[in-house]
Amino acid sequence: MKILTRNIDRPNPAHIDSYLVNEGYVALPRALNEMKPEEVIDEVKFSRLRGRGGAGFPAGMKWDFASRDRRKPKYIICNADEGEPGTFKDRVLIEKDPHAILEGMAIAGYAVGAEYGFIYIRGEYPVGARILERAIAEAEKRSFLGRNILNSGFNFHIVVHRGAGAYICGEETALIESLEGKRGQSRIRPPFPVNVGYSNLPTVVNNVETLASVAPIILRGGNWYANIGTHECPGTKLYSVSGHVRNPGVYELPMGVTLRELVFEHAGGMRENRTFKAAFPGGASSACLDESELDVRLDFNSLAAVGSMLGSGAVMVLDDTADMVKVAHVLIKFFEHESCGKCTPCREGLFWVRRVLDAILEGRGTEADLDLLLDVCEGIRSTSFCGLGEASINPVVSTIKKFRHEYMAYIRGQSLAESSMEEAS
C-alpha cells in the first residue's frame, strides 16, 4: 500500500509538476475552501494519526491544543532532524516528495491558525535542504504558499533552518532552543510547545512523516486512514531497515507488520548462510528483540508491550556474526557523545557505562560489572532530564538481559574476539 511513497518512483519526483499529477495540492484548497479549521482538526482526529517522530502522540490532539491557545503568532515546525541512528526514511520524503511535506504543513497551519512554518533539517542533509528550498519557491510561485494562498485570505510562510550537528536537537524543546539561536538543550516539559514553544508562543512540532500523511487524510477522510494498520496505530509506516538483511532500505507497510514479515518478505531475508540473531526495532535507543520475538508487531503498542519501542521505525537487523557487546558499545558511545551535558545522570552516567563496557571488551570485566551496569542504567533511565538519557540505556540493558552469555564470554576471556563483526561486510 503506497500512501507516503506514492510519488517517489516518478521521474523527477521532487518537482511540483510531478506532485500535481497525482492529486498534489488538492487537499490544501479543499481544506481552505470547504472546511473550517476545527473540521480539519476533527478529520485528523478521526484518522487517529499518531506522530511518527518517536513518541506516537495523536496529531489531532496536538493540533487541537495549539488551536485553543489564543496567543499569536503561532508556529508549525517540521522536525526533519532525523538523527536517530538507523533512521533514513524522512530523507526519502524530503528528497523525493518535498511538496507532500509542505502541503501538510500548510494544512496544519490553517488548522491551528499559524502563519509561519520552519523546517529544521539536520546539517548532514545539505542536498535535502536545497530541494526543500526549491520546492518552497515553486509552491510560492503557484500560490500554494505565501501571502493570501489561492485567494483564501490565509497566509503561510515556510523557512528552512539547517541544523549544525547535534542529535539532541531532534528533541522538540532542544530544537526550539536551537531555532532561537542557542545551544540545543532541552527545556522542562510541561509547559509543552503547543503552548510555550518558539519564542514562547504556541507551536506544533511534527515529524516529516506525520506531516506528509496529512494531505492524503484530508483527501480521503479520517475514516479511510483509520482502517489501515492496527486499531490503536492506524495508517502506513515507513520502516528504515538496515544491517544484515539482503535488501536494506525504506519500506512502506501498514502499521503492525511483524518483524518476521518485514525482514523475510520485504527486506529479502538474511544474507546467505546467515541466521537472524537480533533486531533493534526503533533505532539506537530501543531495546533489542531476539529470535523468539520475530512475530512481534512493529507498532507503538505491541512494541511497548514487550518492553521495547517503535521510535522512528528504524529496524536494525543483526545476524549471527554480530557481537552484541560491541554493538552496545558503539551505541552507548554515540549517546555519550550526544549527551547535551545539562543533567548529571546522563552526562556522567553514560561516561561510566561506556568505561565499564570498555573494561569488559578489554577483558578486564567481572560478572559483578553486569549488575553494576544495570544499576547505573536504571539510575540514568529514572532520573534523566529528557528522553535522550532516559532511552539511551535501552541497548545496554536489553543486550545484557538477552545476550548475557556474550558479555560472560568476554568476562571469562573466551570471547570470539577475532570472529567479530568487523569481518562481516
Residues lying near ligand FMN in the complex (CB under 6 A) are found at: 51-55, 57, 79, 81-84, 168, 170-172, 205-207, 210, 386-388
313 is a contact residue toward another protein (CB under 8 A):
no
Assign 3-class secondary structure to the chain: CCCCCCCCCCCCCCCHHHHHHCCCCCHHHHHHHHCCHHHHHHHHHHHCCECCCCCCCEHHHHHHHHHHCCCCCCEEEEEECCCCCCCCHHHHHHHHCHHHHHHHHHHHHHHHCCCEEEEEECCCCHHHHHHHHHHHHHHHHCCCCECCHHHCCCCEEEEEEECCCCHHHHCHHHHHHHHCCCCCCCCCCCCCCCCCCHHHCCEEEEEHHHHHCHHHHHHHCHHHHHCCECCCCECEEEEEEEECECCCEEEEEECCCEHHHHHHHHCCCECCCCCEEEEEECECCCCCEEHHHCCCECCHHHHHHCCCCCCCCEEEEEECCCCHHHHHHHHHHHHHHHCCCCCHHHHHHHHHHHHHHHHHHCCCCCHHHHHHHHHHHHHHHHHCCCHHHHHHCHHHHHHHHHCHHHHHHHHCCCCCHHHCHHHCC
Q: How far apart are CA 366 and CA 124, in angstroms?
A: 40
Among 205, 331, 350, 397, binds another protein (CB under 8 A): 331
For residue 384, the partner it binds in ligand SF4, another protein, ligand FMN, none, with Cβ less than 5 to 8 A by kind, is ligand SF4
125 is a contact residue toward another protein (CB under 8 A):
yes
CB atoms within 10 A of CB 342: 18
Nearer to another protein among residue 174 and residue 370 (C-beta): 174
For residue 385, the partner it binds in another protein, ligand SF4, ligand FMN, none, with Cβ less than 5 to 8 A by kind, is ligand SF4
For residue 13, the partner it binds in ligand FMN, another protein, ligand SF4, none, with Cβ less than 5 to 8 A by kind, is none
For residue 214, the partner it binds in ligand SF4, another protein, ligand FMN, none, with Cβ less than 5 to 8 A by kind, is none
Kindly indicate which of the ranges 208-216, 310-318, 359-367, 383-391 contains the residues binding another protein, using the contact rule CB under 8 A.
Answer: 310-318
CB of 51 to ligand FMN, least distance (A): 2
CB of 84 to ligand FMN, least distance (A): 6
For residue 322, the partner it binds in ligand FMN, another protein, ligand SF4, none, with Cβ less than 5 to 8 A by kind, is another protein
127 is a contact residue toward another protein (CB under 8 A):
yes
For residue 347, the partner it binds in ligand SF4, ligand FMN, another protein, none, with Cβ less than 5 to 8 A by kind, is ligand SF4
CB of 142 to another protein, least distance (A): 26
Nearer to ligand FMN among residue 13 and residue 60 (C-beta): 60
* Dihedral sign (CA 41, 42, 43, 45): positive
For residue 244, the partner it binds in ligand FMN, another protein, ligand SF4, none, with Cβ less than 5 to 8 A by kind, is another protein
CA angle 177, 181, 182 (to 5 degrees): 55
For residue 205, the partner it binds in ligand FMN, ligand SF4, another protein, none, with Cβ less than 5 to 8 A by kind, is ligand FMN
259 is a contact residue toward another protein (CB under 8 A):
no
73 is a contact residue toward another protein (CB under 8 A):
no
167 is a contact residue toward another protein (CB under 8 A):
yes
CB of 53 to ligand FMN, least distance (A): 3
CB of 173 to ligand SF4, least distance (A): 9
CB of 22 to ligand SF4, least distance (A): 41
Q: How far apart are CA 256 and CA 238, in angstroms?
A: 11
CB atoms within 10 A of CB 417: 13
Among 250, 262, 298, 396, binds another protein (CB under 8 A): 250
CB of 425 to ligand FMN, least distance (A): 28
Q: How far apart are CA 221 and CA 205, in angstroms?
A: 23
Residues that bind another protein (CB under 8 A): 82-88, 90-91, 122-127, 161-167, 178-184, 240-244, 248-250, 280, 284, 314, 316, 318, 321-322, 326-327, 330-331, 334, 337-338, 340, 421-425
